[in-house]
A and B are shown apart, each in its own frame.
Chain A
Amino acid sequence: MAPLEQEPAVEVARPATPRRRGGRRRKTLGDWAVLGVAVLIGLLIAVPFFMILVNSFKSPTDYANTGPLSLPSELYFDGLVAFWERVDFPEKLWNSFYISGIVAIGAVLISMLNAFALGIGRVKGRTWIVVIILLANMLPQEVLLYPLYFMFKQVGLYDNQWAVIIIFVVIQSAFGTYLLASVYGTFPKEILEAASLDGANRWTILWRVVFPITRPTLSVLIIFFFIWTWNEFLIPLTFLVSNANQTVPVAVAVLQGDRLMDVTTTSASALLGLIPTLIFFLIFQRTLTRGITAGAVK
């Protein structure tokens, strides 16, 4: 397999970007204006996040006196602590992480197998197969609740995290299949030809050629799937009824109904609900740069 591993085309995939060319670095007034506009848009988008941050550290009296926009007059951690303890936050964190992690990996795997058959295998009727698979994405989730409730009850998966995991593997992989199938459809033929001349069978081609070359796209999908699953609400709310199984968003929302919660604890709960995905995103956001179609070799 050695010749396959040192894939020459991978280098071709990353054309040297011309960083320094004559005059490229000169900045006109217009460039600064564009930057200004871009920064302003960024600030507008970030305002609500600033508000979450500021209000999480205020005491209720402080909030009542100064309103939502001012900085806290002194740092107050009781809201954060109250939320942390009331919902047993580490438990919810682990639930969300466990569910989203397995879904992300499972859905990418299924997407890849589907897309391999559709994009590279060019299975007959692939357009229609993609449409049918996309059904998982098209359906309003409310449609699934009643039937799946009965089905999971029957097999003893109701109030079990695997119920949610299975549902989201199917839903997320529908998007993955759609995107990946069109990327694989443009996979460079020469590489596949070379591999098959070397005697690689389909399974080997998938794992030794297609998988490594499209890894950037696959990692983008993993990030999307993880965050999307983390943020899901309706299905986890319905299928994870017991407190110990709930995810972070469900825990936050359930507490919302609790009249005893003051605004600053609410804000603290929002902050704690947001931080995990934020950290995840910051760690992996570079992966996004490498591109959804990085496999597209000329």
Chain B
Amino acid sequence: MQRIRVWRVSATDLIIWGIGFLIGGIALWGTIATLREGLYTSSDWVSFLIFGLAQGAVYALIALGYTLVYGILFMINFAHGEIFMGGAYIGYFVARAFDESGFLDSNPILALAIIFLVAMSVSISMAVALERIAYRPLRRAPRLVPLITAIGASLFLQYSFRGLFGTGIKVYPDVEILKGSWQIGGVMVLRIHVIVFVCAVLMMAGLYWLVQRTKMGKAMRAVAEDKDAAALMGIDVDRVIVNTFIVGGALAGAGGVLFALYNKQVIHTMGFIPGIKAFTAAVLGGIGNIPGAMFGGLFLGIFESIGPPLFFTGLGVPSPNQLKDVIAFSMLVLVLIFRPTGLLGEVLTEKKA
């Protein structure tokens, strides 16, 4: 008997595709209109691009933490944005102390290295404590339970920082060597953006090496593939999970300092929006997929920096930059609706509930 394949299109499919085409159409129309009006010069676009790359590199660093944890535990570590915030926040106190003692000006490279080390260790300890206290006891609980715990932990960490260190915005001190701009190919770019991008890329390369070439990385990949089988092979699963949180925390802490270096300020709520955006980036690249998270972060950063002027100026929307977050979130919604496995494909598709 021959199997006949019936192509069924339901009403929901039609509605969803309709919405998709509508949004795509608006974006396309806006792009054409903007380009025709020619409000921005090409050097404007390049500077948008460089800024997007710097921003995206930080998103990528945070996104790696989401992806690593999701790959192993199948849970969204909602509090990861707060781990990012914690590193940046404590880094501020170190930076301020160095600034007051003059160490930051006399020995900037060493000072920055210490700031990074402190921030990363704070983030690592937060991540490990979170795993130990909040997530490990719930490893076998129904799926919603750890998610709600993570939301609670996120709120708790935010407001603990607020309670412990005060409410106001804290401004990072200036670092002389990071100021100024460079002339690259006829375009002026801020030095800090280039440095942030290069640092983040170096760290991602390091992570890639760690996961692909070391014994620890091998164990992480094995646990991500199948926890029980990995345990039978003599891998200490708890240890590997802790390692994963350590790696994710370290990247988030470093990302936090990089973010604070070009954004200049820290506040207890700063982790939330980058956290959600980094999650978007992780989903964009296919969650559980490490190169995917890097690609997704950079893509989202560029998209978010070029998107508002490109799509909205031509349509005559007032102050298009207000809609930056709308673009990022719409991106998240659209990707989850149309291609939940991400642009590069999810590594662990079949295990996702």
A and B are interacting partners: no
